[in-house]
Structure 1
Amino acid sequence: MTRMDEFSSFYAATAAETLRVTYALCGDRQVALEATVDAYRRGWREWSRIRDKRPLVHIRTEAWRAVALHRGVHPLRRRHEEDADTDLLAALHDLAADDRRLVVLLTLGGSDLAEASREVGIGEEEGIERVGVALAALEEALGHDLAVLEQRLLGLGAVTESLSMPPVEKIRTGARRDGRRNTVLLVAAAVALVLGGGFVVTDGSSLTTQASMPYREKLGAERPDVVLEASKLSADNLLSSNQVAELDPDSPWRTTATDEDPENDTPYATCPPRRFADESPARVFLRTFEAEGDANTRAAQAIEVSSSEREAQRAYRTTVGWFADCAHPRTQLIGSYVVKRPFGDFRILQMRSYRDPERVFTVGVTQSGSVSSTVVHEQEGDQGPPIDDFARMLNTSVAKICRDSGGQCSDELEVTPAAPPRTSEAPAFLGVVDLPPVADIDRVWSGTKPFVPEADRNPAATLCDATGTEGRRVENANARIFVIPQEEGLAPEFGVAETVLTMSSEEAASDLIRSTRRKLEACEDENLSARVSEGSDIGTRETSGTTWTVRFEVEDGDDVVFRTGIVRRGNVVAQVLFTPSGDVDIAAETFDRLVQRAGERLVYAQSE
């Protein structure tokens, strides 16, 4: 069977049923007809992608989205139709959107409960509960028992019998025409941009500027009511417990609460100081989840509808910044990733709390059109969910938002490790969120503001490699010191010191690394009280460095221990020194990761 014949057969078998379902959902036969025709046109354009992926569900969902955004679908505002069951349509409209879809799919849609629940995006058990509540509400509103109610629901399909879906040839022709019109609109938008001042910033072809713009910006001419559409988001655009459960399929999940109160400012996660990043959102939604039988495995999703795409981008940056600046006792950033998509990248961060019980927080922050969203997953232990699985769930959350928010949807994604997000203060240096817990101390690290060290004193150097911070090839030097204030019993020397040096060239930076290595390797011969461990190489594709443990024997036979490391990225070098206090120490592997993080943060020294 050819692709064309395959679609024709599908259209003939499903078009009438889809029209009935769409009408029952919106209550306006003309809106239902237009939405259904448009959904099949879209389906033909995307047939190669959806033909093997439950195409009827795709078509019905497209039609539902179209009527959900239409301003005239409320039964009290629709045109009068003598054969319409207005009371039933009004009672259906009073149900929650997902509940209405479930009832319609189970009757006019010919679906069983499992299929209908899956199409709505919830679990079968939740579907059973919702259908029971919805049918009880309809019985109460209409004063009929279930048998009569079912007959009235099925009767809604008779209203669409007077409507004729166009032949499949017209569906395909309309799909091609819509595709060409979209192309024309894109070109027209580009020309308007040029005529409106694009030549001022263009040094080549006038259309080159438009072609290089992000895709969502090109669609401004097609989607003029982005804010209006986004304001129509509802709790139905949140993840369901069934979708969250994909991260842990062995445990059933349940929704614990859904909140739409913009005045509730209680944080839902460890690091943010308040619930929402946008100080004046148009709409907000928060849903919390819990793994049944395990109160320590939880999740939450927050949606913020902003007044514009620019404000949503600002809310996105603010939320990421909250986690970048996280300052909670024994909480550390352990992983940073970017989810690359054709229409805008997302952030995933993993934080580990070393308090008892230990927990891992996996955080995803997204932005689509005028909406920003945050998903937080909390799991007891030292491992979070697989990052690729979390990224797919995060993309699912965006798929439930993007079209209604003026954003663009895509199933294409690539997860890659990334530099940690910049901190608000001294981003080229280690941040408080990077520093590991020490012993059983339950206090927050505190860092000084960066300062210019004295020329002959490098606070991050040991006696073995004591060098100044000035020289022919040192262009800039700054240092920062971290301590744990108010913790009694620590030696005055305890803490972390970091010096960041910008060298005149990459060669000069490499020479500094080599010089430091030579000094550490020769230290035992030059200082009989010194013992230096063999260096451990650390680094990534962009960084390279070495760490050592240095011990100095003092007069009473005790040792003074230092952990030191140096790492380079391009022409910038970071030197890190940790000074323990007696038994209050960290493992060598922990220090290696700390120096590697210092190297990752040097990306911000190069961008300043």
Structure 2
Amino acid sequence: MTESDEFDQFYKDVRTRLLLLTYCLTGDLPSSRAAVRDAFVVAWHHWRKVSRVEDPEAWVREHACRHAVRRHTAKLWHREKNLDPEIKATLDALGRLSITQRRVLLVTELTTSSLAAMAREVGLPRTEAERELQTATATFSLHREVPTTEVRGVLEAVLEHVETNRWPRPTILRRAGNTRRRTHTVIGVAATAAALVIAGTLVTDADGMRPTLAGERVEAGPSGPPKPRVVALPEDSLLTAENVDEAAPGSWTVARTDDNTAGDGLVVACQQTRYAAPRNNPDSAYVRVFDPRTSASTTSQKSVPSVVQTAEALRTERVAGRSYDNAVGWFAGCRDDRVQLIATYDLPGVGDEAQVFVLKTWSKPGSTIIAGVARTGSFTTTTVSTRHGSGTPGTGAMARLLARGVDQLCALPEGGTCSTSSTPRPTAPVPAAAAPGMLAEIDLPPVPGVAKPWVGTGARRALDNAAATHCDETVFTGPPMSNNLTRTFLVPEAKLPAEFGLTETVGTLPRKRAQAFVADVRDKLSRCSKKQMGTKVTRLRDVRKGDTDLSVWRVTTEVTDDKTLSFLMGVVRDGTAVAQVGFVPVKGVTIAPAAFDALTQRALDRLAAMPPPRQR
């Protein structure tokens, strides 16, 4: 068996076990997936040594754990949406342990390592490692509510969640390992050359310049050494017109490519600053605009789509992560007037992290925007497709294009994970309001006949609740309610009657109290028509799924023989978080029940970001 065959088989045998362990260690699947991938790249780089150690899996595992923890340290304990309750309970119990206790427990329960080998792997004396293991086992068992004899089985059950992961081919890892080996060789040669220069020829002239081996003059840093290395972004690492043709069949051409230093730098909808990089200062950046080749018979240029790619190179992966978060924030919380977020997707097989957003603009002529944001190593990239008027560019096509853009960048020395799949997975929206867990202007549907934007008030403590109807008169005050906030959305520029508006009120309760809270609202609405003369209550939707509830009603009340008031109201629950959404229309100005129903669903989706109930 050749070295490459031996490595490929080792990779297939070990990778899922390492992913299970690193996922349990961090609770962060994307970081764990990237860490395992990086550990195998390093393993191929050193394969001749690794293949001869007593336990190659332990060697790779140690690197994978270190990579996973480093990638994860800037994030909170990760909580995936729509996670199986049993797996979520296991991760929550692991989150109660320190990182050392977690690692001691996981290496003991999920590997065949002896206690002595486990202690060496985590870097503790054996007696201290055993003490940490006893504490970790007891704490995990307590919070997971299982006997200590069942800890291994509970941890192994998480395998079901990670074993479907799409893995990069072994050839990709070996190619990355070879690139890493060549890079280290070049660095070694450069270091030797630098040592010779320092030993015999290091001189700085009066102008702050120093000679190099090649004889050119390189600017010295403030105290003498050269300035930090800049991460390069070659122009040929951008997407091509052929790439766009492959993802969205047609006939595309590159309209322009530049570093985006001209004008205000805002080239796509929702973009807030010239660059997504912190302080607007990437090492290198490009923007490339693609246009379709259109014939003279095209009826309206406004109906023609456009595609734009941006790419930025950052000094470190950590800074690139902040750049990625900024770009995600542009689209997840778009500040442009009359823009609505339609859907959010995760792309777990694209780069180190990636998401796609589908948005609609309602100002004439109206447009559909599909924006993808991704990061691979020290590079971030966005692809944005805009189509005016009718017609929608495909989400799958834009996901494939984003994946192609990542594959162009991941091959660079500072690149990270490449793409293994570009299948979009619907996910909860990224928090966009100042108070996480609440609706934002970007969630609200257009009001037919009103061409002005929604404006939300600031979130304030919910001492009263304008979202309630006269049937339920629900309040969000008093113990054990906590995290109770309310905000109202209006269209101030439309000069509508004062009663027009939409209000959301949220709060958190212990789980059983939250369930009773929703049940009480349902009960009051079901009895309202009989208790209040002239009131008609129509239930539009009632869904109870897992640990969530959603109900929507239309409440119509006859005020006089000539005047009738109609309200739309919804109540939702996600675990311990509850919310009520109420809409008051005025004569001739309303939103369709289906649009309000979708908005109530969005309120439920956003509740996942609510903090847990406060302990009193």
Category of TM-score, reference length = shorter chain: 0.5 to 0.7
> Which stretch of the first structure deviates more once superposed, 319-328 or 185-194?
185-194
**Cα distance in structure 1, aligned partners of 2:428 and 2:44:** 44
**Cα distance in structure 1, aligned partners of 2:288 and 2:312:** 12
**CA shift for structure 1 position 252:** 1.3
Alpha carbons of structure 1 residues 458 and 177: separation in structure 2 relative to 1, 3 Å: closer
The aligned runs of 1:4-403 (5 Å cut-off) are 179-180=47-48, 187=59, 190=62, 202-203=100-101, 204=104, 205=118, 207=121, 231-249=231-249, 251-262=250-261, 265-278=264-277, 279-293=280-294, 295=301, 296-341=304-349, 344-381=352-389, 384-403=392-411
Question: How many correspondences in the alignment?
Answer: 432
Secondary structure of the structure 1 residue equivalent to 2:434: coil
**Cα distance in structure 2, aligned partners of 1:464 and 1:228:** 66
**CA shift for structure 1 position 552:** 1.4
| Matched letter for residue 289 of structure 1 | F
CA contact (8 A) 1:328 1:444 kept: no
**CA shift for structure 1 position 265:** 3.9
Secondary structure of the structure 1 residue equivalent to 2:329: helix
**CA shift for structure 1 position 233:** 2.4
**CA shift for structure 1 position 445:** 1.6
**CA shift for structure 1 position 244:** 1.4
Alpha carbons of structure 1 residues 474 and 335: separation in structure 2 relative to 1, 3 Å: same
CA contact (8 A) 2:433 2:439 kept: no
| 1:314-356, Cα deviation, whole Å (9 max, x unpaired) | 0100111122221223210000010113862311110011233
Larger Rg: 1
**CA shift for structure 1 position 527:** 1.3
- What's the counterpart of residue 583 of structure 1? 588
**Cα distance in structure 2, aligned partners of 1:607 and 1:230:** 43
Secondary structure of the structure 1 residue equivalent to 2:526: helix
| Matched letter for residue 271 of structure 1 | C
**Cα distance in structure 1, aligned partners of 2:491 and 2:347:** 35
CA contact (8 A) 2:324 2:374 kept: yes
Alpha carbons of structure 1 residues 221 and 289: separation in structure 2 relative to 1, 3 Å: closer
CA contact (8 A) 1:350 1:362 kept: yes
**Cα distance in structure 2, aligned partners of 1:560 and 1:193:** 61
CA contact (8 A) 2:351 2:375 kept: no
Secondary structure of the structure 1 residue equivalent to 2:305: strand
CA contact (8 A) 1:552 1:560 kept: yes
CA contact (8 A) 2:371 2:385 kept: yes
CA contact (8 A) 1:262 1:283 kept: no
**Cα distance in structure 1, aligned partners of 2:510 and 2:231:** 52
- What's the counterpart of residue 98 of structure 1? none
| 1:38-70, Cα deviation, whole Å (9 max, x unpaired) | xxx9899889x9xxxxxxxxxxxxxxxxxxxxx
| 1:288-321, Cα deviation, whole Å (9 max, x unpaired) | 1122226430110000111111111101001111
Residue 459 of structure 2 is aligned to residue 450 of structure 1: yes
Secondary structure of the structure 2 residue equivalent to 1:491: coil
**Cα distance in structure 2, aligned partners of 1:385 and 1:230:** 36
1:467 to 474, 477, 490: 474
CA contact (8 A) 1:539 1:599 kept: no
CA contact (8 A) 1:189 1:221 kept: no
**Cα distance in structure 1, aligned partners of 2:121 and 2:452:** 56
Residue 417 of structure 2 is aligned to residue 408 of structure 1: yes
**CA shift for structure 1 position 473:** 4.0
Residue 464 of structure 2 is aligned to residue 440 of structure 1: no
> Which stretch of the first structure deviates more once superposed, 276-285 or 353-362?
353-362
> Which stretch of the first structure deviates more once superposed, 525-534 or 428-437?
525-534
| Matched letter for residue 464 of structure 1 | C
| Matched letter for residue 590 of structure 1 | A
| Matched letter for residue 346 of structure 2 | V
**Cα distance in structure 2, aligned partners of 1:348 and 1:513:** 33
Secondary structure of the structure 1 residue equivalent to 2:493: coil
**Cα distance in structure 1, aligned partners of 2:243 and 2:501:** 44
| 1:561-583, Cα deviation, whole Å (9 max, x unpaired) | 11100011001111000111211
> Which stretch of the first structure deviates more once superposed, 562-571 or 356-365?
356-365
Secondary structure of the structure 1 residue equivalent to 2:255: strand
| Matched letter for residue 429 of structure 2 | P
Secondary structure of the structure 1 residue equivalent to 2:352: coil
| Matched letter for residue 498 of structure 1 | E
| 1:428-462, Cα deviation, whole Å (9 max, x unpaired) | 100111011112322222112211232xx321101
Residue 500 of structure 2 is aligned to residue 502 of structure 1: no
1:553 to 555, 558, 564: 558
Give unmatched runs, 5+ long, in structure 2: 12-42, 71-97, 105-117, 124-161, 163-167, 188-226
| Matched letter for residue 237 of structure 2 | N
**Cα distance in structure 1, aligned partners of 2:605 and 2:341:** 13
| Matched letter for residue 424 of structure 2 | V
- What's the counterpart of residue 534 of structure 2? 529
With structure 2 as the length reference, what TM-score do the two structures score? 0.63
> Which stretch of the first structure deviates more once superposed, 263-272 or 462-471?
263-272
Secondary structure of the structure 2 residue equivalent to 1:479: strand
Residue 528 of structure 2 is aligned to residue 519 of structure 1: no
Give unmatched runs, 5+ long, in structure 1: 5-40, 50-174
Secondary structure of the structure 1 residue equivalent to 2:416: coil
**CA shift for structure 1 position 268:** 1.3
**Cα distance in structure 1, aligned partners of 2:5 and 2:549:** 51
CA contact (8 A) 2:462 2:477 kept: no
| Matched letter for residue 238 of structure 1 | L
| 1:351-402, Cα deviation, whole Å (9 max, x unpaired) | 0112332321001000111111111011235653333332222111100001
Alpha carbons of structure 1 residues 367 and 493: separation in structure 2 relative to 1, 3 Å: same
Secondary structure of the structure 2 residue equivalent to 1:519: helix
CA contact (8 A) 1:539 1:545 kept: yes
CA contact (8 A) 2:383 2:398 kept: no
Residue 493 of structure 2 is aligned to residue 486 of structure 1: yes
**Cα distance in structure 2, aligned partners of 1:258 and 1:42:** 40
Coordinate RMSD, CA, aligned? 3.9
CA contact (8 A) 1:264 1:275 kept: no
**Cα distance in structure 2, aligned partners of 1:525 and 1:303:** 62
- What's the counterpart of residue 597 of structure 2? 592
Alpha carbons of structure 1 residues 582 and 43: separation in structure 2 relative to 1, 3 Å: farther
**CA shift for structure 1 position 586:** 0.6
